[in-house]
Amino acid sequence: MIAPNPFTPQSGWEPKIFGGRNQEQELFKANLTEAIKVRPSHLVVLGEWGAGKTSLLKQFRRMSQEQGFPAAYCAMTRFTPKNTPLDAIHLIAEEMLMGFPKAETSQKNLAELFSRKKSLSNAQVQFTKFLLELWKVMDAKLAAVLLDDIQNLSEISNTIDVLRAVLSSDDIIKETRFLFILSSTPSGWSSFIDKHDPVGRFFRKRLAVDNLKEGDVQATIDMTLKGTGVVFEEAVRKNIFEYTLGHPYEVQLLASHLYDHQIEGVVSGAAWDNALNNTLKELGRDYFNNLFSKASDRERDLLEILAEERRPVTIKEFTTMMIVGKRAKKFPIANIKNFLYRLEEKGLVKRSEKAGFCIPDRMFVEFINSQARGE
């Protein structure tokens, strides 16, 4: 019998097998020890879309609880300019009450510490009181608070400054041991730092969530397939890494489509094109269409060349291509450099000193090529 699809291609779905991330887990372990021995140094986890922030935070929650430290996970929803920091702080407090089992008994009293009618600056006072009171009923050596998707607070960005002010206040440092772990997209986090000067210096510990390494991807796929009655042929396994470069969401999505193409329990090279096309369609809908639409028409011409070439291209080469050969066309050649720099700013291309410009995401390359073919 073939088991149901074991892959988890969904934002926020924890993978069946949590692959790699050994260094990150070691760092977190050390962080827990330091928090107990010295004092908590709060951590910021940074990663782009689908890089595995949520899964890592949930792994940290498990690790923390395993050592006997209660942990509460809170996904920040998108706030609007109509909200105030107090709304966000209130959400965090409610999630903490739900996440920490020992606190439940006194839930009612603690929630009463919040009054939404009070002025903005009181978010700080109210949260400080809340943490102090909560700590008294916690009966723990340390408690972890995981705040996911902090970039959703960008419209009420001073919430981060409130958090900083609360966590750096004398009373909180002396009386409590809360360790905060925040996750954000890199651009979201840098906008907080730009706007609120001391925030960057307070949340000093950063952890970047990058792609998984090749060995980790292979091991994760093999272990996820264990007991399902399905195997991927060697060439297919190799291709998965080559195309995704270990991007966790792309790995899960592609592997999931491949799994659906098993014949008598085997996924062979014959399944590849179909599975890849389905994957690209989904990535297009979820993300790539949006990314592609950030490029102007002229910039798209350059992206299409990069995708077709599948290698880094220098400004000089671009210029030549526009003048002679099959791609020669009317193009404002003098502006090629500007277009490429704009594309870099938008995160669509990467630049290396010697080799020139390239599209860092192989799946995005395939997506552009499939669009160009009209698929």
Ligand X SMILES: Nc1ncnc2c1ncn2[C@@H]1O[C@H](COP(=O)(O)OP(=O)(O)OP(=O)(O)O)[C@@H](O)[C@H]1O
Q: Which positions touch Mg ion (CB under 5 A)?
A: 53-54
For strand 356-358 and strand 350-352, is the pairing parallel, antiparallel, or unpaired? antiparallel
Question: Which span sits near ligand X by CB under 6 A: 47-55, 112-120, 268-276, 318-326?
Answer: 47-55
Q: One symbol per residue from 184 to 223: x for binding ligand X (CB under 6 A), - otherwise; what is it?
A: ------------------------------------x---
Write out the binding residues for ligand X, residues 252-281 only, by CB under 6 A: 252
Shortest reach from residue 26's CB to ligand X, in Å = 14
Shortest reach from residue 64's CB to ligand X, in Å = 17
The reply to whether 86 sits near ligand X by the rule CB under 6 A is: no
Shortest reach from residue 54's CB to Mg ion, in Å = 3
Burial class of residue 313, CB neighbours in 10 A (0-12, 13-18, 19+):
buried
The reply to whether 18 sits near ligand X by the rule CB under 6 A is: yes
Structure-block tokens of residue 249: 């969401």
DSSP states of 114-128 as a string? --TTS-TTHHHHHHH
- Could you give the count of Cα atoms lying within 13 Å of 334 in the half-sphere of its Cβ? 0
* Calpha distance 262→239 (Å, rounded): 16
Between residues 149 and 366, which has the closer beta carbon with respect to Mg ion? 149
* Calpha distance 91→221 (Å, rounded): 37
Single out the residue of 50, 99, 246, 356 in contact with ligand X (rule: CB under 6 A).
50
Reference 23, options 207, 183, 248; nearest CA is 207
Range 280-290 burial, b when 16+ CB lie within 10 A, else e: bebbbeebbee
Residue found under tokens 């009070």: 118
Between residues 147 and 349, which has the closer beta carbon with respect to Mg ion? 147
Cβ atoms 363, 279 nearer than 8 A: yes
Shortest reach from residue 22's CB to Mg ion, in Å = 21
Amino acid letter for position 76: M
Residue 19 touches which of ligand X, Mg ion, none (Cβ within 5-8 Å per kind):
ligand X
Residue 356 touches which of ligand X, Mg ion, none (Cβ within 5-8 Å per kind):
none
How many residues form the binding site for ligand X (CB under 6 A)?
24
Residue 282 touches which of Mg ion, ligand X, none (Cβ within 5-8 Å per kind):
none
C-alpha 276: how far from its chain's center? 23
The reply to whether 246 sits near ligand X by the rule CB under 6 A is: no
Cβ atoms 104, 139 nearer than 8 A: no
Residue 252 touches which of Mg ion, ligand X, none (Cβ within 5-8 Å per kind):
ligand X
Write out the binding residues for ligand X, residues 96-125 only, by CB under 6 A: none
* Calpha distance 32→68 (Å, rounded): 11
Between residues 176 and 183, which has the closer beta carbon with respect to Mg ion? 183
Residue 40 touches which of ligand X, Mg ion, none (Cβ within 5-8 Å per kind):
none
Between residues 13 and 30, which has the closer beta carbon with respect to Mg ion? 13
Question: Which span sits near ligand X by CB under 6 A: 7-15, 134-142, 165-173, 293-301?
Answer: 7-15
Cβ atoms 70, 138 nearer than 8 A: yes
* Residues 85, 202, 26, 20, CA torsion sign: positive
Between residues 73 and 331, which has the closer beta carbon with respect to Mg ion? 73
The reply to whether 33 sits near ligand X by the rule CB under 6 A is: no
The reply to whether 85 sits near ligand X by the rule CB under 6 A is: no
**Ordered strands of the 43-46 beta sheet:** 71-75, 143-148, 178-184, 43-46, 205-208
Q: Report the interface residues with ligand X, using CB under 6 A.
A: 8-15, 18-21, 47, 49-55, 220, 248-249, 252
